[in-house]
Amino acid sequence: MIKAMEEVVITGVGAVSAGTVGADSLFWTLAEGRSLIRSWSKLSALGFGNPSCVFIDNETWQAVDASLGPLEPEWGPQTRLALCAATEAWQRAGLGEHRVERGGVFLASNKHTFDEVQLRSLAPHMNWERERLQLDDFLRSGVTRPEAYFHKQQDQAALALAHRFGLQASHGAHGEACAAGAMAIGAAMQFIRAGLVDVALAGAAETMCNFMPLVAFSVVGALADGEHLKGGAISRPFDEARCGFVMGEGSAFLVLESASHAARRGAQPLARVRGFAGLLEACRITASADDGSEYARCMVEALQDAGLAPDAIDHINAHGTSTPTNDACEALAVKQVFGDRIAEIPITANKSALGHSLANSGAVEAVLATLSLHRQMLLPTLNYERACSPCAGLDIVTSTRSAPIKNVLSSSFGFGGANACLVLEAA
């Protein structure tokens, strides 16, 4: 006899972004139409023409560290952000000191995030004759600052979360580029559905506002150059004047539980995770199929997993990066899936205010979508003034509005062809 799948509910959320510690604080900041994008003197000093990004400033770091208690030497920036956001989600779920026998950690982040300081510290350990980097020598040299590269590995943050919350049944580290956060949430949902774990911390942490990621994304033409638009006006998803994304940082986590586990302890769900699709395509490294068909395929499979028809979706939390190619492809995909209903489905693009925090983007957007469902409130897309041709006809939300929402589609489409969609349902 086949066992029925467990229903998956969201009982807690947490988030950290630039100048905001707390999911509610972030939600209301965006609801007020405020952008977190700022000019950073560090980037100007490094010679970047566009010094705007969404970086974790010193004041925010102080608030993050104050929430953690005594800091361990192996906790790098990603781990500290993850612990802060996950602790908020755990407390909001009412778990407190509750011991979870079958719990898991599903964390997303991207590797290879060297900054200019780390490159200088590594250079003396390069054996140019053998064309090898002597990593053991590097470690023996005592270069173990908290921001060092080896403290940015995914397993460091996952291990810290597992230890702090006693979640030992399953661990997963995701690195599927910009789709990784949604992939982590989807994987946690699947484990709970299958009855393998009862509770999961699922989310992401990303600290990408540094030299190498910014250079890399600039070279491939994905970052906004800041030549024509400045500050908070730069990120403008689906707008005709969009010219690239703005880099962001942060962390966001959700507590996912089986509905039966939540009910046994009297927890009140914020929302449900109804469906998920995580697909890989082999089109191009930096772009999907021009006609939006691959994005559409992912949306359709998420709806099928949820057991819903397109007519059931009341709101779309779009990937909406503000890059010319992505936004056009995503708009075409929405039109393929939803047809004549496109003018009736309100669409929000959080990156207009948050920038693009890569692996964390899918996680923080899932948190915000959860709170939108819980509060029956749609967040605005900033800087949307005039649609380009592929985006024409979409209902882009430009100011906070109340609306009856039952089901939300949240999409994340990553470099390298990693695509993920979540379907969230009001509790």
Q: Which one of 53, 178, 243, 391 is the catalytic residue? A: 178
Query: Choosing from 151, 174, 261, 356, which is the catalytic residue?
Result: 356
* DSSP-H helix ranges across 226-323: 259-264, 293-306
Q: How is residue 194 annotated by DSSP? A: T
Alpha carbon 403 to its chain centroid, in Å, reads 24
DSSP 373-420: HHHTEEPPPTT--SB-TTTTT-EE--S-EE---SEEEEEEEETTTEEE
Angle at 215 (CA atoms; ends 214, 219), nearest 5 degrees? 115
Tell me if residue 209 is catalytic.
Answer: no
Would you put residue 268 in left (φ > 0), alpha (ψ -120 to 50) or beta?
beta
Catalytic residue among 319, 329, 391, 421: 319
Q: Report the distance separating Cα 359 and Cα 230, nearest Å.
A: 25
With b for 16 or more beta-carbon neighbours within 10 A and e for fewer, the 125-163 pattern comes to beeeeeeeeeeeebeeeebeeeebbebbbbebbbbbbbe
The pTM for the full model equals 0.92
What pLDDT sits at residue 1?
A: 45
Taking Cα atoms as reference points, which of 306, 323, 315 lies closest to residue 414? 323
pLDDT of residue 282: 77
319 among known catalytic residues: yes
163 is catalytic: no
> Helix 77-92 and helix 58-66: axis angle, to 10°?
50
**Cβ–Cβ under 8 Å, residues 271 and 93:** no
Write out the chain's pLDDT in tens, 427 residues.
456 789 999 999 999 999 999 999 999 999 999 999 999 998 888 888 889 999 999 999 999 999 999 988 778 889 999 999 999 999 999 998 778 989 999 999 986 556 666 667 777 877 877 777 776 776 666 555 544 545 455 678 888 999 999 998 788 888 899 999 999 999 999 999 999 999 999 999 999 898 888 888 888 889 998 777 788 999 999 999 999 999 999 999 999 999 999 999 999 999 999 999 999 997 877 788 889 999 999 999 999 999 999 999 999 999 999 999 999 999 999 999 999 999 999 999 999 999 999 999 999 999 999 999 999 999 999 999 999 899 999 999 999 999 999 999 999 999 888 999 999 999 9
Bridge partners of residue 199, in order along the sequence: 103, 257
For the chain, the domains span 8-111+153-426
CATH level 3 topology of 8-111+153-426: Peroxisomal Thiolase; Chain A, domain 1 (3.40.47)
